[in-house]
Each structure stands twice: as C-alpha cells, then as structure tokens.
Amino acid sequence: MSLRIFVPRDAGAVAVGADEVALALGRTASKRGVEIEIVRTGSRGLYWLEPLIEVATPQGRVAFGPVTESDANSVLAAMIADGAHPLRLGLTDEIPWLKRQTRLTFARCGVIDPRSVEDYRAHDGYKGLERALTLSSDAILADVTASGLRGRGGAGFPTGIKWKTVAQTSADQKYIVCNADEGDSGTFADRMIMEGDPFVVIEGMTIAGITVGATKGYIYIRSEYPHAIEAMKAAISAAKRAGYLGARIGGSAHSFDLEVRVGAGAYVCGEETSLLESLEGRRGIVRAKPPLPAHKGLFGKPTVINNVLSFAAIPFILAGGAKAYADFGMGRSRGTMPIQLAGNVKYGGLFEVAFGITLGELVDEVGGGTFTGRPVRAVQVGGPLGAYFPRALFDTPFDYEAFTARDGLIGHGGIVVFDDSVDMVKQARFAMEFCAIESCGKCTPCRIGSTRGVETIDKIRAGNRVPENIAVIEDLCNTMKFGSLCALGGFTPYPVMSALKHFREDFGPAPTRLQAAE
C-alpha cells in the first residue's frame, strides 16, 4: 500500500524547512522499503506549526507539525503504524484553529496540488466559470453585486459596480488586471492563495473577462514573491493545456488569455494607477483620477483592476454562492475576510472569517498573544499605512466602516502584533521613512512631507522642543492626508497620528500648562 503524504511548498513553509522534510521523508521511506507519494500542496496557514505535513487515512487527513528533517523517520513510522507521536495533531479538519474559520476563498488552499487542474476540478474548481458561461453578462453582474463583495485590496470599493462600469464602456480592447503587488508588511494572503490555489485566481479573472468583454489579462506580481510567480506561471500553462485559457474557453465563444508580469521592488506600484503605469513599461508614477481605470486604464483602455483576493472570491460566488456569501458579515462588509496574523504573535497565520469578529478576539483568542510571552501593547492593522491600535480599542469589530470610524483601516487584512518593548516613536518615524523611500515623487505632500516628517520626529526623539514639533507633525500629517494624490502619502498619517494619539507617553513629556503665579 502506498502512503499519500502532503508537504507544503508554500514559501512560508519552505522558509522553515519544508523542502528538507520532503527530501528526508523520501530517503527514510526508501530505506524502510515503504512506498510513499509526496504531494506538494499550499499551506493550511497555521504557520506556527509549519512545516505541517499530513497523511491521508480512511478517516481523513491526519496532521503532524512542526516537523523537522530529523523527525522524518519517527513521523513516517507513526504514519505507517497509525500510532502516537508527540507531533501528531490529529485530524487536520478538527484542529480548533482551522475549524473555527469560515473558509470560502481559502477552502482548497493547503488541500490540493496547486500544479494540477484535475485536482482543482475534483475540489469544485471551475464550477463558477462553468455556470458563468451559461449566464448573460448582466446576470453575472447581478450575482457579483448581490454577494456584496468589496475590493479586498483595501479600498473596499464594490466589485459589482466596478465591473459594471467596464462592461458598459465600449472599446475595441479591454483588460483584466490582477493586483498581486502585496507589499504591505503583515500580509501574505495573496502570496498564499497564488502558491496554494492559483487556479481560483485564474478562474476569477476569467469570469471577469467574459463578464466585461475583455480578452486579455495581466497578473502583476511583486518580485519579492518568486514562489508565487512560479506557481502562477505553472498554473496558467496548465489551464491553457486544459482549454481553460486561450481561444474558446471551455468550448464557449469566449477567449481569454493571461500573462504574469513581475514588479521591480516599488511599493507604490500596489496603488492601482501606478501599477498600470508600471505594466505599460514606465516608472510607477501615480495617475490623477479621474479618469478611472474602469474608463481609461491599461494602455488607455477600460480595465478591471482588482486585488488577488477579490478575484479569488468570485468562483464561490458564481458557483451559486452569492447569497451564501452575502449572508456572512456585518453592516456593509459582507462575506469573509482572510485575516493575516503576523509579527510577534503566538499563533500566526491565515484566519478566514466573516466580518464582525473583534480585534481583541483576533489578537488574544485566535492569535494567543505574543510569542515572547510579554503583554500585547499595540497592533498595526492594514500594513505600513494602517493605524496602530492600543488594547483600549480591541473591541473594534473587523469591518471597513468600524475601523474608519476609529481613524484606522482594515486594508488588506494584515494584523501585526507588538509587545510592550515597542517604541512607538520609532514606529512613527519608520512610517515616515518608508513613505520617503517609496514615494513616487509626483505630489509634494508625500515627497517632501515624508522627509520633513522623519526630520521632525528625530527632533522629538532628541527631546528638542517636543510640544512645538508635535504640532508640526500634526500639521504635516493633515497636509499629507488631504493633499496627497494617492494612499501612500494620504494614509502615512494613520500610523503616525495613531502612535501619537494612543501612545503619547512615548513621545516625551506631555506639555505642561503654564501655571498662574500664586
């Protein structure tokens, strides 16, 4: 009998030794004369347990982790005997951290072989496209709109409305562009889905193409993600071979082609208009809006540009799940959000859940606090442009509007946890410094404001006229927030101002009011 063993090929798992574990399993199996089949999957997203490997059993997959190279022999023995092992975690689906999630977008990630169209199809893949091919463009738009899906890149713009605008604009050529320039620190959901279930992104983009009448799509992936680039390229080739990309997809009258393009280390290219410039072969300089990309996008043509997770949510919705998707969530935030717990967190990873869960539940219950064991002091939500939240705001529900109401943003769903050793002035300075490094230079508030911000925070750190310089920072942030062309300059004030507001004590002595003479 041959054992089927699943070892992730996800970059996060590879970074902690998954490749070595796979090799060691092969060696020890041949030494024992046992036949095994190793399937390289994506990650389940339980990163503190990576490398997490699984074996197929009649009861379901059984997980072991974190497995090192030197554990391979004993783990294989436990797999063969179906016996006990200190690293045995039981049935994967019963692991509480996984069981508590609502995995709609990430249902297949870590489960299937990301190189195999057949495996994707065997796990409900391409059902959304198959149904979409039987529908009119209007009917697809109705489903996307009914699902309540909003752009998962951070801006939260309703996907249905964006698609409808492109569908209604007539042009000889339209484009679908997938923004896979996931530059926010603390986020890795795009990377995970591209490495673990690339076909779901392809399927989502293909549905977008047939809906709006676009025949060509680009996936712009950042160069820092070599594993994701490889996975997407392999999946595109496989989809072409299987007739799911190219001319007459799935035997229909529609054509759709996809190409991967690689970024070159510019954070600002995650901003959609800057990304389009970069795709056109130019410097990643932000464009003024309007015109919207939906009217004049890539090469001046109507373009749907969405985040990886937005496209990845589409196949479930089109496979008849629009209402089911909309039934999850709260307020105007419908469906699920793949949340990423990162930084100094005990149980870090990918946690897909309906909107509405509170920040405190996510950090303390799901994340288990810090791995250093020290108290959580601050969390940054939404990447380098997101606000720092203190414990006092941990009752904030994960919802676009609730975070906005508290001067924050959910962004791309990343949460970075800091313990009480964090120096919030240093973090505020970093936000300004990062903006200065990455500014495209087009608008003055961002280009100059960020550099002045670094200088001014340095003065504050040196104890130089602290109250006056804090007033300068507040004024500067106000100018950047309202005067910048895009979110880089416009949102850098969020981490800076939240650090100042919630962690004022780190910025030096509070201003003492002049006392009237007795």
Partner 1 sequence: MAPVYEPWDATRGAEIIAEHTHLEGATLVILHALQEAFGYVPEPAIPMIAHALNLSRAEVHGVFTFYHDFRHEPAGRHVLKLCRAEACQAAGGDTLAARAEAKLGIAMGNTTADDRVTLEPIYCLGLCATAPSAMLDGRVVGRLDEARIDALVAEAQR
Q: Residues in the site for partner 1, rule: CB under 8 A?
A: 11-12, 14-16, 47-48, 50, 182-188, 190-191, 223-228, 261-267, 278-284, 299, 340-345, 348-350, 371, 380, 384, 414, 416-419, 422, 427, 430, 434, 438, 440
| Lookup: tokens for 20 | 């070595």
What separation in angstroms does the CA of 200 have from each of 145, 240, 360?
A: 19, 14, 31
Residue 389 phi, psi (nearest 5): -105, 135
Cβ-Cβ contacts under 8 Å for 465 (sequence gap 6 or more) = 459
User: C-beta of 229: minimal distance to partner 1 in Å?
Assistant: 11
User: C-beta of 57: minimal distance to partner 1 in Å?
Assistant: 27
User: C-beta of 416: minimal distance to partner 1 in Å?
Assistant: 5
Q: What is the distance between the alpha carbons of residues 384 and 487, in angstroms, rounded to a whole number?
A: 11
User: C-beta of 281: minimal distance to partner 1 in Å?
Assistant: 3
| Contact present, 403 and 510 (Cβ < 8 Å) | no
Comparison of 340 and 469: residue with beta carbon closer to partner 1: 340
User: C-beta of 301: minimal distance to partner 1 in Å?
Assistant: 11
Q: Which residues of 69-80 are buried (b: 16+ CB within 10 A; e: fewer)?
A: bebbbebbebbe
Q: What is the distance between the alpha carbons of residues 402 and 394, in angstroms, rounded to a whole number?
A: 12
Helix (H), strand (E) at residue 178: strand 175-180
Comparison of 147 and 380: residue with beta carbon closer to partner 1: 380
Comparison of 318 and 417: residue with beta carbon closer to partner 1: 417
DSSP string for residues in 475-516:
HHHHHHHHH-SSHHHHHTHHHHHHHHHH-GGGGSSPPPPPPP
Task: Give, rounded to a whole angstrom, the gap between the first and last alpha carbons of the chain.
Answer: 93
Q: What is the distance between the alpha carbons of residues 425 and 507, in angstroms, rounded to a whole number?
A: 6
User: C-beta of 183: minimal distance to partner 1 in Å?
Assistant: 6
Comparison of 127 and 227: residue with beta carbon closer to partner 1: 227
User: C-beta of 376: minimal distance to partner 1 in Å?
Assistant: 10
Please classify residue 81 by burial: count the beta carbons closer than 10 Å to its beta carbon, then call 0-12 exposed, 13-18 middle and 19+ buried. Answer: exposed
DSSP string for residues in 21-46:
HHHHHHHHHHHHT--EEEEEE---SB
CB atoms within 10 A of CB 346: 16
Q: Quick check: helix, strand or coil at residue 302?
A: coil
**R_g of the chain, CA atoms, integer Å:** 24
User: C-beta of 434: minimal distance to partner 1 in Å?
Assistant: 7
Q: What is the distance between the alpha carbons of residues 412 and 185, in angstroms, rounded to a whole number?
A: 10
Strands 376-381 and 388-390: antiparallel
User: C-beta of 264: minimal distance to partner 1 in Å?
Assistant: 3
Comparison of 232 and 417: residue with beta carbon closer to partner 1: 417
Comparison of 224 and 458: residue with beta carbon closer to partner 1: 224
User: C-beta of 1: minimal distance to partner 1 in Å?
Assistant: 34
Q: What is the distance between the alpha carbons of residues 182 and 189, in angstroms, rounded to a whole number?
A: 9
User: C-beta of 44: minimal distance to partner 1 in Å?
Assistant: 12
- Closest by CA to 196, choosing from 44, 19, 351, is 44
Q: What is the distance between the alpha carbons of residues 459 and 463, in angstroms, rounded to a whole number?
A: 6
Comparison of 102 and 185: residue with beta carbon closer to partner 1: 185
Comparison of 239 and 416: residue with beta carbon closer to partner 1: 416
Comparison of 124 and 365: residue with beta carbon closer to partner 1: 365
User: C-beta of 381: minimal distance to partner 1 in Å?
Assistant: 11
Comparison of 209 and 284: residue with beta carbon closer to partner 1: 284
Comparison of 182 and 399: residue with beta carbon closer to partner 1: 182
User: C-beta of 153: minimal distance to partner 1 in Å?
Assistant: 15
Comparison of 12 and 125: residue with beta carbon closer to partner 1: 12
Comparison of 104 and 192: residue with beta carbon closer to partner 1: 192
Cβ-Cβ contacts under 8 Å for 323 (sequence gap 6 or more) = 146, 147
Strands 88-91 and 60-64: antiparallel
